[in-house]
Amino acid sequence: MAETIDQTTFEQILEMDDDDDRDFSKGIVYGFFDQAEATFLKMEEALKEKNLSELSSLGHFLKGSSATLGLNKVKEACEKIQHYGAGKDETGTNDEKDEKVSLKNIEKTLADVKKDYKEVEAFLRKFYDEKESSD
């Protein structure tokens, strides 16, 4: 999961745990799962409504949360959604004047990020379950 999770960032979260349990970091990670699921639903709704500014805002929001945990692929995809929603290309440097192109890019990126999210979610759930069962 090296390209998916930034080990240094995630280890910093783990360092906040008590020595004998992972309750603190698990709470943060599982809170992110709830937040991500809710945000993806809001993104789907905003996509149906063709609300680019809302998509940009939601992308920005989830980018920050995923960056905090070191979830690189999720962060990068959310940043693209943020840019597309703002009428830019994926890098955020060039204007994209055609809203249909922006919406199509968001639709594809959202599908991709949901797959990446599911992979990292499965990995992290397994990580925490293994820690609990080995105690």
Superfamily (CATH H level) for 7-129:
HPT domain (1.20.120.160)
The count of other CB atoms within 10 Å of the CB of residue 126 is 10
Res 23 pLDDT > 60: yes
Q: Which residues pair with 5 in a beta bridge?
A: 71
Could you give the C-alpha distances from 40 to 57, 95, 113, in angstroms and in order?
A: 12, 25, 9
CA 74, CA 6: separation in Å to the nearest integer? 11
The pLDDT, as a whole number, for residue 2 is 75
Listed by start position, the domains of the chain span 7-129
CA 78, CA 72: separation in Å to the nearest integer? 10
pLDDT band at 135 (very low <50, low <70, confident <90, very high): very low
Q: Which uninterrupted H or E stretch holds 67?
A: helix 52-69
Convert the pLDDT of each residue in 35-94 to its tens digit.
999 999 999 999 999 999 999 999 999 999 999 999 999 999 999 999 999 999 999 999
The pLDDT, as a whole number, for residue 20 is 79
